[in-house]
Structure 1
């Protein structure tokens, strides 16, 4: 009887927690940002905390290491805002203003191509194809960047959240072991070993994915910016940042990021568009053959079919954000399901 009451109490507590979390969606953003920052900064904090201070004859300590990491991060953010974000906003504003003119140039070039290949039956459909492709892709890209800019601005104006994020990040970095142990202790003695394994593996997967994806996005963004700038394609900073952002969408992200660059190059001349296509293909091959294996390794360990299905589900449920979160979420679910279904005897 007592055992039955305990089970029902646990069920009620879990359901109450799920209900509260479903109603408290505004708190998710600062928590998610804090967790991401904690995973990114953790290697730096681990290294700094092990430094030996000769004057004090002891190690630097985790608390001071976190403060140093925060200082370095603040400097990086300030430099990024000054030299990347501000010029990007100015360049993107110019792109929005000049967008009608870009569409007209694309239409004129399409008419020229139609006149040159009018003997081909498909030529009659070419203007419609280009018009639909241009409007859909460019609208998607601009809407994506606009949403990102609005999110950044809204985030920056949320003073409370700006205070909460560094505080949460500090405690995630400082007391992660305590938080993990406290969570594990909520379960029975028999289950603690398995729960601890699940948390450790989930932490390893998500930290590896976040740091690896962040580095891959930065590298791809820099390569695209340098390539578009050297080719003379307009708005290279916008294209570079768009490539970096869409890179976080597996499989289709690189294609989404490439299409606006190809269309902008096409407004100059078709030969330049061909060069841009070849350049993006080369980048994609370098990414798949060098960057991803070296940086990401086997962190996710998901079959391409599972990745595609998770992308479709994430996109259907939550749009672009869902597609970005789909793969790490699927990887975490795989860890949980593996530990739930595979018993010690099965291993």
Structure 2
């Protein structure tokens, strides 16, 4: 009996050690499986399409989806990304001189000496210059993760092709009386995650396009870069919007306070429209997580896996919430 406990503890420690060593690979597998689950409803819909009396196979449906995504990415890389990179390079080159001009305008205010504007400006200039330099110098490091991106794409394709077999095998590890309940629970969680990711993608697109148009109308410099960042970072709830609107307001303030005010007014207007109109119609009740839960999941996801962890934090929290609701929450029975 004691020998069995020792063996169990040894196997458990080996399992924890293996998870620690393969943390990066496990995150990659999890992200790939997550996006495969999101794309599978689209694959099934394509497979149900009747084309001259024939229905596309799963492989053909996946090929169409991958080709469509590849076409969109290719158009973005050749048409949309070069102006964004040009704006980023120009922004980092002109940043020190623009900070000096803005500080000179602040010095003319009567409370500048009390606030210690010069000292704050020196620190802000150093911090912003360091940040801009980091963004430019770390770009090759980001590109070095291309292998991970390609691996995730192939894993996602294989999950879509052979995911049903792996899913059924995982369910077979549970006793038969509990298997159907777990399958129903995971199906409900999959619906929530799929709806959230698709809805979040639409919200990112809407914010990116609308902010680019508004920034262009306001003649904000680097409006393509700022609009791109506004849409991209919108996938990170709360924190992404705060960071990007702060950056956009600072860039607009380099030219005039009027532009900065216009940027802030636009974002306040957009947030109200998004909360009152877009989210109820696009997202519906797909996740049903409180703001505190989202913040905690973002903090934990970022601490565990950086940017990737932040991206999958909310879907993971939705999955955990569904499992807890089914297996851990005790409800008072009403008679």
TM-score past 0.5 threshold: yes
Structure 1: gaps spanning 5 or more residues: none
- Residue equivalent to 1:104: 100
Choose which of 132, 136, 144 in structure 2 pairs with 1:154: 144
Using the size of structure 1 for normalisation, the TM-score is 0.82
Choose which of 297, 304, 323 in structure 2 pairs with 1:310: 297
Q: Displacement, 1:331? A: 2.1
Choose which of 38, 43, 46 in structure 2 pairs with 1:48: 46
Q: Residue 59 of structure 1 aligns to a residue in which SS?
A: coil
Does 2:66 match 1:70? Answer: yes
Bigger CA drift: 74-83 or 330-339?
A: 330-339
Bigger CA drift: 16-25 or 275-284?
A: 16-25
Using the size of structure 2 for normalisation, the TM-score is 0.84
User: Is the CA contact 1:91–1:237 (under 8 Å) kept in the aligned structure 2?
Assistant: yes
Bigger CA drift: 315-324 or 223-232?
A: 315-324
User: Is the CA contact 1:66–1:170 (under 8 Å) kept in the aligned structure 2?
Assistant: yes
User: Is the CA contact 1:109–1:267 (under 8 Å) kept in the aligned structure 2?
Assistant: no
Higher relative contact order (CA 8 A, sep 6+): 2
- Residue equivalent to 1:334: 321
C-alpha distance in 1, partners of 2:137/2:320?
A: 28
- Residue equivalent to 2:247: 260
Superposed, which structure 2 residues align to 1:186-201 within 5 Å? 186-201=173-188
Q: Displacement, 1:142? A: 4.3
User: Is the CA contact 2:301–2:312 (under 8 Å) kept in the aligned structure 1?
Assistant: yes
Render the CA deviation track for 1:99-128: whole Å, top value 9, x for unaligned: 21222122112212x2xx34xxx8621626
- Residue equivalent to 1:92: 88
Superposed, which structure 2 residues align to 1:133-172 within 5 Å? 134=124, 138=128, 142=132, 149-150=139-140, 152-156=142-146, 158=147, 161=148, 164-172=151-159
- Residue equivalent to 1:281: 268
User: Is the CA contact 1:239–1:257 (under 8 Å) kept in the aligned structure 2?
Assistant: yes
Q: Residue 58 of structure 1 aligns to a residue in which SS?
A: coil
User: Is the CA contact 1:141–1:260 (under 8 Å) kept in the aligned structure 2?
Assistant: no
Change over 3 Å in CA distance of 1:260–1:339 after alignment to 2: same
User: Is the CA contact 1:180–1:199 (under 8 Å) kept in the aligned structure 2?
Assistant: no
Q: Displacement, 1:194? A: 2.9
Structure 2: gaps spanning 5 or more residues: none
User: Is the CA contact 1:134–1:263 (under 8 Å) kept in the aligned structure 2?
Assistant: no
C-alpha distance in 1, partners of 2:137/2:286?
A: 29
Does 2:32 match 1:34? Answer: yes
Aligned residues: 333
User: Is the CA contact 1:39–1:210 (under 8 Å) kept in the aligned structure 2?
Assistant: no
User: Is the CA contact 1:39–1:211 (under 8 Å) kept in the aligned structure 2?
Assistant: no
Bigger CA drift: 308-317 or 325-334?
A: 308-317
RMSD between superposed Cα atoms in Å: 3.4
Q: Displacement, 1:30? A: 4.2
